[in-house]
Amino acid sequence: MADAASWIHLGRMDELSRQDSPLHRLDPRAKILATGAYIVVVMSLPRHALAPLLPLASFPLFLLIAGRIPAADIGRKIALAAPFAVLIGLFNPLLDRTPVVLPGGGELAAGWLSFASILVRFTLTVSAALLLVATTGMMQLGAGLRRLGMPRVFNQQLQFLYRYLFVIGGEAQSMLRALACRVPRLRRIPWSAYGSFTGQWLLRSLDRAERIHRAMALRGYDGQVRCRRETAFTVRDLVFLLAWLGVFAIIRFATIWTP
């Protein structure tokens, strides 16, 4: 059971963000703006579009290769959230039976195209967001968002939400490990015990959060999350941003004018 919890490995993105590569050294604002524009372009394409999505895969592939990020780490996290995307488009083939002529001459219900499009868009956008975190880190990402004008209170909430996922995950792993030691042959938690387990998990997490807050207050926390290293927006960052914005614009406008 503990292995199942560690499979998610919440801290893996932070570990990857501590690598040193040209992509990691870019200003967070350039990567945030490029990724935001990428997600907008992906989501703005027609709902039955599949072919125009293929060239857009170049952006996450570039981030994956330039950032030296293992594809398996990103793939595991995409697979973890994939059921939600499947659930969203699951009934499209049943609700949209309009025939669409394929390039080869065959026909297919439009619902299948929209279902496939949802899965492809999900994979592209989630992988781009994960790679943004893996090549930037949450602290630098928060600093970049703050310098782009995000209100401080929202920025702090985002930072704490991310950090307290580790607290909750750590408490769950400790409880699962303790349960495995007490009942070695138990393969999974019985359904009847989920209520009690969840309640204890919440109480332990709240107690741990309170101790963390007191420790932060003793160390002088004044309501502002500070970053140890502030980056400057250089010509290299501008070239990266403008180059990818140009690629996204070409793909998007080429799709608009496709007969």
pLDDT higher than threshold 70 for residue 47: yes
Model pLDDT, residue 213: 81
More confident residue, 48 or 119: 119
Show the tokens assigned to 107.
């026909």
Tell me which of 91 and 31 has the higher pLDDT.
Answer: 31
In this prediction, what percent of the chain has a pLDDT beyond 70? 87
Q: What is the pLDDT of residue 249?
A: 93
pLDDT of residue 7: 41
What pLDDT shows up at residue 106? 67
Asked if 137 and 26 count as a contact pair (C-beta separation under 8 A), the reply is no
Q: What is the pLDDT of residues 104-114, one digit of tens each?
A: 666 677 788 88
Q: Is the pLDDT of residue 6 over 50?
A: no
Cβ contacts of 229 within 8 Å, gap of 6 or more: 140
Q: Is 232 exposed, middle or buried (0-12, 13-18, 19+ CB in 10 A)?
A: exposed
pTM of this prediction exceeds 0.85? no
When pLDDT is cut at 50, 70 and 90, the band that residue 238 belongs to is very high
Nearest to 28 by CA among 176, 200, 111, 144: 144
* pLDDT for the residue 102: 66
- Confidence at residue 204, expressed as pLDDT on a 0 to 100 scale: 85
Of 38, 42, 21, the C-alpha closest to 30 is 38
Q: List, for residues 189-227, the tens digit of each pLDDT value.
A: 777 777 888 888 888 888 888 888 888 888 887 766 666
